[in-house]
């Protein structure tokens, strides 16, 4: 019997079973920024049926589950997995995105907007990760070890700003998917065209996972009020 009902929130499902993120992404259901909605608001019959299948396979899931990590461990996980990915991938992708817009933008004007969105995402995400590592995560580490109320008050304001930044990044990624028709390439697309769209899809996947871990797990105690 499924542990989920039509009243279960999307973000809680992804926290319990990370593989369901792929299902929600395919269905274009926001599980990170807008994940605080119950299944009954997002076509529950179709989702619940597919969730049953994923749950049945979850017994064999051996991969590390970030939701079970402590706050300190989760910050380390985010830095080494998601922050490192952004620092490597965003600069590496830049010349390919620029070339694609320059060569094919005349016949595919949406690529000019792709270039603009990518540049904005690159700037925002790299500044965002730097702010987390230099300012927010050290303060959170201090809180997790000392449980200071003054620290928690300072953190709440910073986390509110980070969540707003997550929403901005999420909106840019949604626009990116929309204008690229779900990262679908033309039949005559060149290798660079296919490469860029594939890497943009991977960027979306990693960023949504990153935002989910922070919004719905790491930041949760500070967003709902500390005990």
pLDDT at 58: 63
Q: Is the pTM of this model over 0.95?
A: no
DSSP codes joined into one string, 154-203: HHHHHHHHHHHHHHHHHHHHHHHHHHTTTTPPPTT--HHHHHHHHHHHHH
- What stretch of H or E contains 7? none
Quick one: which of 106, 213, 220 has its CA closest to 156? 220
What is the C-alpha separation between 200 and 176, in angstroms, rounded? Answer: 9
Packed helices 149-179 and 137-146: angle between N→C axes, nearest 10 degrees: 140
Contact 205, 139 (CB under 8 A): no
pLDDT tens digits, one per residue of 166-210: 999 999 999 999 999 999 998 888 888 998 999 999 999 999 999
């Amino acid at each position: 019997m499924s542990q989920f009902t039509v009243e279960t929130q999307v973000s809680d499902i992804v926290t319990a079973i990370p593989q369901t993120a792929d299902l929600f992404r395919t269905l274009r259901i926001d599980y990170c920024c807008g994940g605080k909605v119950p299944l009954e608001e997002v076509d529950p019959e179709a989702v619940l049926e597919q969730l049953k299948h994923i749950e049945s396979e979850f017994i064999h899931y051996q991969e590390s589950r970030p939701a079970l990590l402590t706050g300190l461990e989760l910050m380390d996980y985010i830095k080494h997995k998601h922050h490192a990915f952004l620092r490597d991938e965003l600069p590496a992708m830049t010349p390919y995105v620029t070339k694609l817009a320059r060569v094919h933008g005349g016949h595919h004007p949406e690529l000019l907007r792709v270039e603009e969105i990518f540049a904005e995402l690159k700037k925002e995400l790299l500044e965002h990760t730097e702010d987390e590592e230099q300012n927010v995560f050290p303060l959170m580490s201090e809180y997790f070890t000392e449980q200071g109320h003054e620290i928690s008050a300072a953190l709440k304001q910073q986390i509110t700003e980070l969540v707003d930044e997550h929403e901005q990044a999420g909106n840019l990624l949604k626009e990116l998917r929309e204008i690229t028709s779900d990262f679908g390439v033309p039949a005559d697309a060149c290798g660079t065209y296919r490469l860029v769209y594939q890497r943009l899809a991977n960027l979306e996947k990693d960023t949504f996972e990153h935002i989910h871990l922070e919004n719905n797990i790491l930041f949760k105690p500070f967003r709902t009020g500390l005990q």
